[in-house]
Each structure stands twice: as structure tokens, then as C-alpha cells.
Amino acid sequence: MAERVSSSGTGRGGTVALAGLSLLLLFGLLVFSTAPTIDRHRKPTAQDIGAAHALLEQIKAAQVVGTSAHLRLATSQVAAVAILASEASGVERVEAGVEGDLLVGRASLPVAGGLWINTAATMAGTHDGFPTVTLSVGRLVLPKVASRWLAEFTRWLLKRKGVGLPPLDDLIPFLSVAGGTLTANLALPPGSDLITRLVGTAAASVDEGRVVQAYCRLARAHEAIPDPQLVSLVQGAFQGAAGTDVVEYNRAAFVALSFYVVGDEAFSLAPTAAAGVARCPPPRGDVLLRGRRDLAKHWTYSAALTAVLGERAAVNLGEWKELHDSNPSGSGFSFVDLAADRSGLNVAHRALDPTSANLAAHSLRSVSDEELLPRVLTQAPEGLSDGDFITRFGGLGQKHYRESVARIDQHLEQPTH
């Protein structure tokens, strides 16, 4: 009888295992695909940056007066936001737009073994409160309530990271899709530091006490010097870099430099330190690199972005700034500004690599203007309108543009002695 029970148990166990394997196989067939359904997105244009910037300014203006931002987005604007989100996240295959009376977002995500997960989110109609979104993963369509569960979970995660958002129905009290236009009300708390806190969720840990110490040391050393030179500030910032924690020292030094040179715009990189530096002497005049304040700002901000948010953020924000400048109201696309960005990024990369951090910090104690920005790069094209930039370089990601950036990097890598 014991043998019969054992045999029966084995049979039941085998049946359960086979059923489980079958369900797993079915799930795989529903979810995974052998090819992506979305092509790689194009690189952003000046128009994309302009649309996203206008949207952000509208949201900020509504926060100042404590009202909901009333947003109206055409499909081109929705697509622009999707492209920038894709660039920022590194997910290469993303698209979004308004197709008639339907808001659609799609993404193709690579997984192991050459397989793909193709996802989609669609929304239609008018909604008072957070909208109902239909989500699909491969061929599997999720219950409509799944979108709200996912949104609530995301809100909970952000709250744990210090990003306080109102309840979903208060955050988006109205949303409608009709006639190729997305209309929405977005309500953020008045004076919300949402952007600063969102930056913090993706940021590397920064020793904010060291940021304050480095800033105050620089401020006192240059208190009596009008329009100080960036080279002097960089040399001073790295005088104390040594020991086993040199990487963290270097990270804090780059942030302190950006606070001193860039000001408020850089404070989101270390908000607690931003409050601490208020007790130190303010900068006296503009910090200059090659006689220009804008180049000093580009160099230090790019270095600090690399130190806190990584190289992708530094590259993207540098290029997006130049694209925005190429719009009619801007000063034009500047390869000199871009060279300063690339130099700050490259220096920070070496100073944050544990294998080269000590050597990089030692070199920065006696760095020269030529090492911060070779003079030859100050002769690069500047003041390009969007049309000129496209005609001469083809746009971001195009061959002529990539070659120009490569030449900048080659000059930056050449020894100066």
C-alpha cells in the first residue's frame, strides 16, 4: 500500500509540474516576442526641446499662483515628451502620440536570448479624475484596474523617496482626448520642489557636509577677487582630495564648484547643502573661463551632473540646452559651449573612476586653462540657428555631428605639456 501511495503522490506531483510548466510556456508565448514592434526613436530636435520647455514653464507658472496647469498637447508635443523621456531613461524604442480620439504609448524592451517585450498603453474619452488606461504586455491585456494599481504603487515608491504627490484624482482632476489633442489639468502643490526631489531619486549619494565645506573654503578664498577665474577655483576645490574616499571627495568638490559658479540652477543636485552654503560669502562677480562666464557655467554644471546623475544626463542636458538656444529666441547652437560641457564631463569621469581618481585630483590641483578648455576649441562654430545647424551638421546623432563631437573629444584627450 505504501508503494501505491508513493506512486500516486508522484503521479499527482508530475501532473502539477506539467500544468505549471504549461502555464509558464503559455505566459511566455503571450508576453515575449522575437522582434520589437517599435523602431529606435529619432534624436530630439530644437522643436522638441522648445515644446517640452514651454510645457515645463507652464506647469511652473501654475505652481507659483497655486492653480492647476491647464495643458493642451497636440500629438507632436506628446511625441516630443516621449522622445526626451526615452533619451533620459536609455530605453531606445518608445513612441507616444494622439491618434484621433486615442492617446497611445508604446515601448519595446529587450530581454535575454534575443527576445522582446512589446508593451502598449491606450486611453480614450473624458475623465474626471485619474484616467482609466488599458495596458498590454505582449498579447496579454491587463485588467483596466491595473493601470491605477501601477500608478498608486509608483506614487507610493516616490513618497518613500521623499517625493510627496497628492492623491491621483487630485493630481489629475481632468483629462480628455479628442480630435488629435490631449487636454489635461495637472495640480501640483504650490511651491512644490517636485523637480528637485525627482532629481534626488536618481542621484548618486553626495556628502553634503563636504559640499558646504568646499564651497565655503572657495568663497572665503575668493571673497576679495572680482570675476575670479575658474582655473583658480578648480585648483582650490581639489587641494584636500586624498585618501581612500577620494572619489566621494571629488564628487562633493564638483557639486560645490557648480553651486559657486552656476548658482540656483545647480542646487537641486544637493538640496540640503544648498541651504548650508547660504552662511558663506556669495560669489563676487562672474566666474570666467577663457574670459567668458557661460563657459565656466557649462564646464562646472556638466562636471557636477556627471558626478551626481551620470554621463547620460550630462550629455543629454548639454545637447538639449544647445538645441533650445538654436530656436529663434535663443543665442544659437554653440560648439564652444558643447566643448566646455564635454571637458567637464571627461574630467569628472576620470575623477570618479576609482582607478584614476587620485591621479585626476592631483592633476586638478595645478590644472591650467588649456587643460580645462583648449584654446583651439574656442574657435568652433557658434550662434547657429536651427536651420544652420541642420544644414551643416544634420542634427543630433547624424554623421557630421558625431564626427564634430569626436574631434572635440580628441582635442580634450591630447596632452597639453
| Sequence ranges of the domains in the chain | 46-198, 205-413
> SS3 for 184?
strand
Please compute the mean of the pLDDT values over residues 168-182 and round it to a whole number.
Answer: 94
Amino acid at 222: H
- Asked if residue 354 lies in contact with residue 395, where contact means CB atoms within 8 angstroms, the answer is no
pLDDT over 90 for what percent of the chain?
70
Q: What pLDDT score does 1 carry? A: 44
Please compute the mean of the pLDDT values over residues 325-345 and round it to a whole number.
Answer: 97
Backbone angles phi, psi at 93, to 5 degrees: -115, 85
Q: What is the 8-class DSSP label of residue 131?
A: P
Counts for the chain of helices (H) and strands (E), in that order: 17, 9
Average pLDDT over the chain reads 89
- Asked if residue 217 lies in contact with residue 271, where contact means CB atoms within 8 angstroms, the answer is no
**Which helix H or strand E contains 294, and what residues bound it?**
helix 293-308
Amino acid at 219: A
pLDDT bin (cut points 50, 70, 90) of residue 173 is very high
> SS3 for 286?
coil
- For the ranges 67-76, 336-345, 364-373, 403-412, which has the lowest average pLDDT? 67-76
Q: What pLDDT score does 196 carry? A: 64
User: How many other CB atoms sit within 10 Å of the CB of residue 266?
Assistant: 23
Q: What is the 8-class DSSP label of residue 379?
A: G
- For the ranges 72-76, 140-144, 198-202, 326-330, which has the lowest average pLDDT? 198-202
Judge whether residue 76 has pLDDT over 80.
yes
Amino acid at 208: E
Please compute the mean of the pLDDT values over residues 224-239 and round it to a whole number.
Answer: 92
Is the overall model pTM greater than 0.85, yes or no? yes
Please compute the mean of the pLDDT values over residues 120-135 and round it to a whole number.
Answer: 95
For the stretch 4-37, pLDDT in tens is 444 555 567 677 777 767 777 776 677 889 999 9
Q: What pLDDT score does 257 carry? A: 97
Q: What pLDDT score does 2 carry? A: 47
CA atoms of 99 and 178, how far apart (whole Å): 9
